[in-house]
Amino acid sequence: MTIIAATEHFAGPPEWTWYILFYFFLAGVAGGSYFLATLLRYWGAPADEAVARIGFYVAFPATLLGLLLLTLDLKQPLRFWHMLFNTTPGQFGLNFNSSTPMSVGVWALLVASVFAAVSFLDALARDRRSRALLDGAVGMAWSVVGSVVYLFIAGYTGVLLAVSNQPIWSDSWALGGLFLASGLSGAAALLLLLSRYRSGAESTRGMLELSERLFTVLELVLLVIVLLTLIDDGTLGKALSFPWVLLWLAALVGMLPALAGLTARRFRVGSGGTLAAGRVQALVLGPTLVLLGVLALRAWVIFAAQH
């Protein structure tokens, strides 16, 4: 039984390629970073503030870069604002089309970038030991609302693909969830990587590693659901055809460090290997692989459908 009805596809590809791929990546990582930063600051230990700030520092530039890529992807980049304002003669006004996640997403991005900008400045202010811009309940409310918007940003990109008549994309209701879960695991991995450069970040690494593993399990479950929905709609063969299956495999490889961590290390105290090698693996190689996997997953979904 399908939630999305099987559709025969004769639609042509929109040729969304590299800009969109990297935008989707940034949207996932920015969304996950903002969310994790909020969680760490307001529900974590005081020592988690260091990583929370990294998260707020990541979200804003990643969002700005994402907006830039989205704009560059347009055939008429200077008309980016046409997404926001209707320029049809006689119908001037704000544009909002709730039928397409593209329109909803553009507005959400705009709102998110305001949240991210303020949180970014707030982190800067705190780092310079001046007063925080966002304190107490207001700060918390700001970050929580911002997190909700950012969770949407990380996930809507998958819904945007689904709301089309393209093979693969329009055959699964789970792409949005999949992108959200992988964005979150990517964000945890990125924060883990960056935590090496910030003193006081050590005590948060356990949380980041565990959350990265749990998000990866969620991602794996959603990936299975996506494959099942594709079987149902007869597009699994297209999705796993050569060479796109290599991207799919790369996405799977990207999940391995986290899954291996869950099965092998989660319940064992201590570790084998030399100290230095173990640390490099835990803090650099693993997260890097996860991030490459996040990118490969999106590349697989984007490219396999359009060929």
Shortest distance (Å) from residue 62 CB to other proteins: 18
Shortest distance (Å) from residue 102 CB to other proteins: 5
What residues contact residue 160 under an 8 Å CB cut-off, 6+ apart?
100, 101, 102, 105
Q: Which is nearer to other proteins, 215 or 300 (CB)?
A: 215
Shortest distance (Å) from residue 255 CB to other proteins: 15
Q: Which is nearer to other proteins, 125 or 140 (CB)?
A: 140
Q: Which is nearer to other proteins, 86 or 288 (CB)?
A: 86
Q: Say which DSSP state 294 is in.
A: H
Q: Which is nearer to other proteins, 1 or 128 (CB)?
A: 1
Shortest distance (Å) from residue 68 CB to other proteins: 15
240 vs 130: CA distance, rounded Å? 54
Shortest distance (Å) from residue 168 CB to other proteins: 12
Contacts of range 101-109, beta carbons closer than 8 Å, 24 or more positions apart:
101/156, 101/157, 101/159, 101/160, 101/163, 102/160, 104/156, 105/153, 105/156, 105/157, 105/160, 108/149, 108/152, 108/153, 108/156, 109/63, 109/66, 109/67, 109/70, 109/153
Q: Which is nearer to other proteins, 236 or 282 (CB)?
A: 282
CB 173 within 8 A of CB 5: no
CB 194 within 8 A of CB 29: no
Strand blocks (E) in the chain: 85-86, 93-94
Angle at 175 between CA 77 and CA 159, to 5 degrees: 45
Shortest distance (Å) from residue 279 CB to other proteins: 5
Q: Which is nearer to other proteins, 8 or 237 (CB)?
A: 8
Shortest distance (Å) from residue 31 CB to other proteins: 10
Q: Which is nearer to other proteins, 16 or 115 (CB)?
A: 16
- In 3D space, the residue among 197, 112, 146 whose CA is nearest the CA of residue 41 turns out to be 146
- What six digits make up the tokens of 164? 């089309």
